[in-house]
Amino acid sequence: MRSNPIFQRCVPTHGFRAPILAAAVLSLLLPLPGAEFQPPLKTTDGFAVPQPGRGFEFPRDHGSHPEFKIEWWYVTGHLLGESDRRFGFQATFFRRAGPQLTNESAIPATSAAFGNDELHLAHMALLDVPGGRFMHEERLNRAGWDAGSITNTLAVHNGNWFLRLGTNAGSDFALQGSIRGVASFSLALTPTKPLVVFGENGVSRKGAGSTASSHYLTFSRLAVEGELSLAGRKQSVRGSAWMDHEISSSQLDEDQAGWDWASLQLNDGREIMAYRLRKQDGSTDPFSRLAWVDAVGVVTNFNSTQFTWSAVRTWKSPATGGVYPVTVKLATTDPASGQPVTFTLEPILLDQELSGGLGGIPYWEGACHVLDDKAEKVGSAYLELTGYVGSLADRFK
């Protein structure tokens, strides 16, 4: 994932469309936090707060939003190379604004060459499944010649890593990344389903606080083609990806310690996004959510009473000492059938921890198999686990 003391990854949240009757009844009994929500226009430090009813315009809203404090673009995916050799990848670009200055005389001198107070962090990770290797790298730069983003379209970079809107009628994306000179990839990402704007009336809330929210834009399935180089050997790859873009100025509430988040791509053409916000006492925050995206892109959301997230197995990191619940069981209702359904997320490799050398917060973000209640593989997933090496509450405000 996307978690660190400077740039903060927000967890996804969602908006109900047409849940089954039982879900609708429960929703009436426990209203969604987005209902009749009217946040302040700005945070106490002067940054914009996501407002209900915002109209999004593209390609502009794929780009940067400097009036907000925190923003990130996140891509994970599953690839097949030569002889169907399997890989997983993650690419995340973060932008964090500097102080919002109201006194013009207090504006510090800057230069185009060395940038300003806006900071850019990026993470790259690659899982080589047959080789049993997980590789990752971080970069941190000030905005300027070596890192930045623009406001009229998607074009974010950190060194020679970049994510850009492509030229295919503005509907595809280009991603380039590398990891410590050992691996590199150049990928074309083409959405196969419509963009989803998660949340209630365009606002995805993350807690009871009036500013703990984001605008959350997602492509839940993209076709991937490109080239991967590993240890000097190049090969063509193909597969599928998930892409998030979140725009925010404030995240976790004070009583939240972290979150568990997952994106599932099922073999039947549907996706699931689920997360559990964890309180300091270990309980589940009522702003936790699960959402289904059907084959044509329609979203059905369940609140925290309508699914369970259970740890099945833990793994202890030899590097950080963090104990992560890396095997997870999700139990909920299938909105298509109205029947109970259970999925188990099984990590392809146990050690998929990003140690947080620059960002300062270790977290686990890894590729998983999705198993049904008969232990048959029914999809692929990415699982994100944060706040297991110290609480994140003070760092997401």
Annotated domain spans of the chain? 21-33+57-98+115-395
pLDDT at 359 over 80: no
Residue 299 DSSP SS3: strand
Q: Classify burial at 49, counting beta carbons within 10 Å of its beta carbon; exposed 0-12, middle 13-18, buried 19 or more.
A: buried
Q: Which residue has the tokens 């996307």?
A: 2
What is the arithmetic mean of pLDDT over 236-255? 91
Predicted local confidence at residue 98, as pLDDT? 82
Q: Which residue has the higher pLDDT, 95 or 397?
A: 95
Backbone angles phi and psi of 372, in degrees to 5: -85, -170
Q: What is the per-residue DSSP string for 231-281?
A: TTEEEEEEEEEEEEEEEEEE---TTEEEEEEEEEEETTS-EEEEEEEEETT
Predicted local confidence at residue 22, as pLDDT? 33
Q: Which residue has the higher pLDDT, 361 or 266?
A: 266
Q: Classify burial at 13, counting beta carbons within 10 Å of its beta carbon; exposed 0-12, middle 13-18, buried 19 or more.
A: buried
What is the arithmetic mean of pLDDT over 129-141? 96
Q: How far apart are CA 305 and CA 346, in angstroms?
A: 24
* Cβ atoms 26, 309 nearer than 8 A: no
For residue 15 the two structure tokens come to 């908006």
Predicted local confidence at residue 355, as pLDDT? 86
pLDDT at 105 over 50: no
Q: Which residue has the higher pLDDT, 360 or 23?
A: 360
pLDDT tens figures, 63-97: 999 999 999 999 999 999 999 999 999 999 999 99
Share of the chain above pLDDT 90, in %: 70
* Cβ atoms 351, 240 nearer than 8 A: no
What is the arithmetic mean of pLDDT over 358-369? 89
What is the Cα 203 distance to its own chain's centre?
16
Q: Which CA distances in Å does 335 have to 22, 103, 332, 377, 387?
A: 10, 53, 9, 20, 31
Q: What is the CATH number of domain 21-33+57-98+115-395?
A: 2.40.370.10
Q: How far apart are CA 253 and CA 279, in angstroms?
A: 9
Q: How far apart are CA 33 and CA 210, in angstroms?
A: 10
What is the Cα 49 distance to its own chain's centre?
19
Confidence of residue 349 (pLDDT cuts 50, 70, 90): very high
Helices in the chain by DSSP H: which ranges?
21-29
Q: Which residue has the higher pLDDT, 189 or 206?
A: 189
For residue 397 the two structure tokens come to 């405000």
Predicted local confidence at residue 2, as pLDDT? 46
pLDDT at 34 over 70: no
pLDDT at 21 over 80: no
Q: Which residue has the higher pLDDT, 112 or 167?
A: 167
What is the Cα 2 distance to its own chain's centre?
7
Backbone angles phi and psi of 9, in degrees to 5: -80, 130
Share of the chain above pLDDT 70, in %: 83
Q: How far apart are CA 55 and CA 150, in angstroms?
A: 19
For residue 324 the two structure tokens come to 């992560």
What is the arithmetic mean of pLDDT over 25-47? 66
Run of H or E residues at 188: strand 183-191
For residue 168 the two structure tokens come to 């295919």
What is the arithmetic mean of pLDDT over 359-375? 93
What is the arithmetic mean of pLDDT over 195-212? 88
For residue 320 the two structure tokens come to 């950080």
Predicted local confidence at residue 18, as pLDDT? 30
Predicted local confidence at residue 205, as pLDDT? 84
* Cβ atoms 333, 22 nearer than 8 A: yes
Predicted local confidence at residue 225, as pLDDT? 97
Confidence of residue 395 (pLDDT cuts 50, 70, 90): low
* Average pLDDT for the chain: 86
What is the arithmetic mean of pLDDT over 52-65? 95
pLDDT at 285 over 50: yes
